[in-house]
Amino acid sequence: MSATAARALTGVFSPVLTPFDTQGAISPQRFVKHCRWLVDQGVGLSVFGTNSEANSLSVREKQDLLQALLESGIPGDVLMPGTGLCNLPETVALTSHAVQAGCAGVLMLPPFYYKGVSDEGLFRFFSTVIDRVGDDRLRLYVYHIPPVSQVPLSAKLIERLIARHGRIIAGIKDSSGDWNNTQLMLKHFQGPDFSVFAGSETFLLANMRGGGAGCITATGNVNPGAINRLYRTWNEDARAADAQQAALDKTRAIFQSMPIIPAMKRTLADHSGDAAWATVRPPLVELDEAQAAALSSALRADGFTVPNARTLAVD
């Protein structure tokens, strides 16, 4: 992942899993360990994303975790925290905190409680956040995830935001699952000042071949090295890149065969030897033992490993 004053972010980012202790409190020590492990494998940190259980965290918890990262020496230029909430004041507060902390960008959900809202309403929301933050350092990546949010972000909305705010509107994460929509984003918006990220490594190779910026992907939490390898080498050998993509798709499918957040957390728990890693917050529930056994068996058959997993454990 990379950024300069002139260019938007590129690379592979992971919506970092949020670890809890066995009582359900956030675990900053585990969080920092996991983020260091990801950065060591060349993956950026989209903390407080969908797979971070972000909407099960308070604003204060997010601010505390971000501060823990910065105090541990994690640089701001690898950070793209999720700051989009359903209300303006907390979205502004969290976004301002991220900008002041030196984060390279923020990933912002639309306000998703009300459905059927207009482009005008969404334009006012994003623009009000930008105006109230009032900082030219802000780089905002809009988060298009209509299967979950039920609030799509149209090309016309993005055009209008760019016309009003320029380089502050720095990109999009397209988690629509619709490659035609990603192609539309690439055609109309991809460039030095605007990055189109695929919402899964399933579309990474296609996105790169289409001129895209990379991907922001859940399974970057557990398979970061292989995903980043394809990002770095996709244009060296077309046949090898196709094979790498097929291997990534196979691993992804195994995790998606289960509730994906509990599946990734249980995998980190098993490989690190730290059982607390399996903990999720309600309304999510952990995998049951039958699910966990089936997941483990499928991953072994796939030859999957978590390198240096013991470094993720907290004694």
Q: Residue 127 is part of a domain; what is its CATH number? A: 3.20.20.70
Sheet holding 214-216, edge to edge: 44-45, 11-14, 214-216, 195-198, 169-174, 140-144, 106-108
pLDDT value of residue 246: 98
In a domain? residue 122? yes
Q: In a structure prediction context, what are the per-residue pLDDT tens digits for the chain, which is 315 residues long?
A: 544 444 799 999 999 999 999 999 999 999 999 999 999 999 999 999 999 999 999 999 999 999 999 999 999 999 999 999 999 999 999 999 999 999 999 999 999 999 999 999 999 999 999 999 999 999 999 999 999 999 999 999 999 999 999 999 999 999 999 999 999 999 999 999 999 999 999 999 999 999 999 999 999 999 999 999 999 999 999 999 999 999 999 999 999 999 999 999 999 999 999 999 999 999 999 999 999 999 999 999 999 999 999 999 997
How many residues are present in the chain? 315
Rounded Cα–Cα distance for residues 296 and 265 (Å): 12
Other beta carbons within 10 Å of 202: 20
Rounded Cα–Cα distance for residues 230 and 224 (Å): 10
In a domain? residue 308? no
For the annotated catalytic residues, the residue numbers are: 143, 173
pLDDT value of residue 266: 98
In a domain? residue 135? yes
pLDDT value of residue 1: 53
In a domain? residue 311? no
Q: Tell me: the pLDDT tens digits for 202-255?
A: 999 999 999 999 999 999 999 999 999 999 999 999 999 999 999 999 999 999
In a domain? residue 172? yes
In a domain? residue 315? no
In a domain? residue 5? no
Using CB atoms within 10 Å of the CB of residue 47, give its burial: 0 to 12 exposed, 13 to 18 middle, 19+ buried.
buried
Residue written as token pair 């055009």: 159
Residues 6+ apart with CB under 8 A from 306: 222, 267, 268, 271, 272
Reduced to 3 states (helix: H, G, I; strand: E, B; else coil), residue 174 is strand
Q: What is the span of the domain harbouring residue 105? A: 11-235
**Annotated binding site for pyruvate: which residue ranges?**
216
**Annotated binding site: which residue ranges?**
216
pLDDT value of residue 6: 47
Q: How many domains does the chain have?
A: 1
In a domain? residue 294? no
